A and B are shown apart, each in its own frame.
Chain A
């Protein structure tokens, strides 16, 4: 009996195949609406999308319908974002639609405006979170097409400004349905690899459709979560894609992006040399002035004739001694002089001197008699002479006016 499998096993297997295929997880699909039916009770819509050769069934659940801001009608060209999965019970695969917009430049602008508003509201474009590009960069990551002109411009500028710089290219197509996924993968890969100090997202000029990949949410998300600062240079100067808005720095052209990314190394080299020169010159000046101060100090006599110091002290000593001596002499002389004067004075006053000159001193019981009324007749009087004492009795006394005191 032949080995066999069941219908559900087959459908389950097919369903798993679909769910594992990366591409089928999200893509943009263009086609013409037909058989569009909206079921009020469930809120879901069912339709098919066709082009001139093929058709495919689609379903848009109620939860996604709010993103449709137009009235879908059969025959309309639309652009929808969705994924494919197998409805196992019936063994049919269909597109599960996340977002749908009318196709055609008009609607593209409308779509972009709406997406931009949503991204802005979610903070993807906040200026506050934009980081500084490091001043000195040696390793630059570039996410672009390896065959594109953008890469050539970037390499030319980098080689010119910083010949030693290392460039790491994450190749990615820059338009077409694969571009969003590859660009996003390129940014993530560079982040994971971790060597690049800055990432440049670059693409040359192109139409709005050509640049659409850089407006995709995948790319915006990848740049937003990049740990490495991102410089974005997409399209011509006039074009601004969401990638430019979410990046840390927007450059008008790939060339300018490279200039922002890499400092002009000759300038950095010159700056370093200049700093080193200033440092050396300043140090020399500092040492020179300290040495000079030392020299000036050493030149002073105190070092050249050390004995000078001793001599000075000795001189001071001798001069002190001399002054001391002189002062003493002076003092002695003065004292002697004063002594003589006082002695002289004393001498003059000395009673002996008076007696020697022939005067006599009258005393009564040892006390000197100065006035005649201190005594009376008959009193006993001692008279002191130079060579002895006389005793006498007062016989008479008489007042005489000698001196107008």
Chain B
């Protein structure tokens, strides 16, 4: 799923549902995009649960590197 971000995954999922509901596709192509849809749906679910809800302060250390310091907000 490289190069895929949440937004494009959702957009593609919407497209697939429209195509399936149009009913114009052959059985084979319906099955193919259905399979893609299932993968996308799973990916989106993981993305929704993935990010950890932290609040951090971005600092630049003396050596110029970045540091993220947890903030008790």
Contacts and interface: CB of A to CB of B under 8 A. Distances in A.
A and B from one complex? yes
Interface of A: 134-136, 138-139, 141, 146, 151-152, 155, 159, 162-171, 189-190, 192-193, 265, 268-269, 271-272, 275-276, 278-279, 282-283, 286, 290
Contact of B41 (A151, A169, A265, A276): A276
B34 A151 contact: no
Contacts of A278: 17, 21
Interface in B41-59: 41, 44-45, 47-58
B62 interface: no
Given A272-B13, A272-B45, A168 B56 contact: yes
A152 B34 CA distance: 44
Given A166-B56, A269-B48, A283-B30, A146 B71 contact: yes
B51 A166 contact: yes
B52 A164 contact: yes
Interface residues of B, number: 37
B73 to A, nearest CB: 5
Contacts of B4: none
A136 B51 CA distance: 12
Contact of B56 (A152, A159, A169, A286): A169
Contact of A151 (B31, B38, B73): B73
Nearest to A186: B58
A275 B13 contact: yes
Residues of B contacting A: mostly: helix
A167 B56 contact: yes
A193 B58 contact: yes
Contacts of A269: 48
Nearest to B30: A286
Contacts of B41: 272, 275-276, 279
A282 B17 CA distance: 8
A138 B51 contact: yes
A283 B41 CA distance: 15
Contacts, number: 100
Interface of B: 5-7, 10, 13-14, 16-17, 20-21, 23, 27, 30-31, 34, 37-38, 41, 44-45, 47-58, 60, 66, 68, 71, 73
A286 B23 contact: yes
A290 B68 CA distance: 56
B18 to A, nearest CB: 9
Given A168-B68, A169-B58, A282 B20 contact: yes
Contacts of A189: 58, 60, 66
A169 B71 contact: yes
A136 B27 contact: no
Contacts of B51: 138-139, 164-166
Contact of A159 (B6, B30, B47, B53): B53
B39 to A, nearest CB: 11
A282 B48 CA distance: 24
A286 B7 contact: no
B55 A272 contact: no
Contact of B20 (A135, A190, A279, A290): A279
Nearest to A152: B73
B51 to A, nearest CB: 4
B44 to A, nearest CB: 5
Contacts of A165: 51, 53
A138 B68 contact: no
Given A136-B6, A155-B73, A279-B16, A164 B53 contact: yes
A141 B58 CA distance: 9
A190 B66 CA distance: 10
A166 B71 CA distance: 12
Nearest to B5: A136
Contacts of B57: 146, 168-171
A274 to B, nearest CB: 9
A158 to B, nearest CB: 8
Contacts of B49: 164
B70 to A, nearest CB: 11
Given A265-B48, A275-B17, A282-B20, 14 more contacts: A134-B7, A141-B58, A146-B71, A151-B73, A155-B73, A164-B51, A165-B53, A166-B53, A167-B73, A193-B66, A269-B48, A272-B44, A278-B17, A286-B20
B69 to A, nearest CB: 9
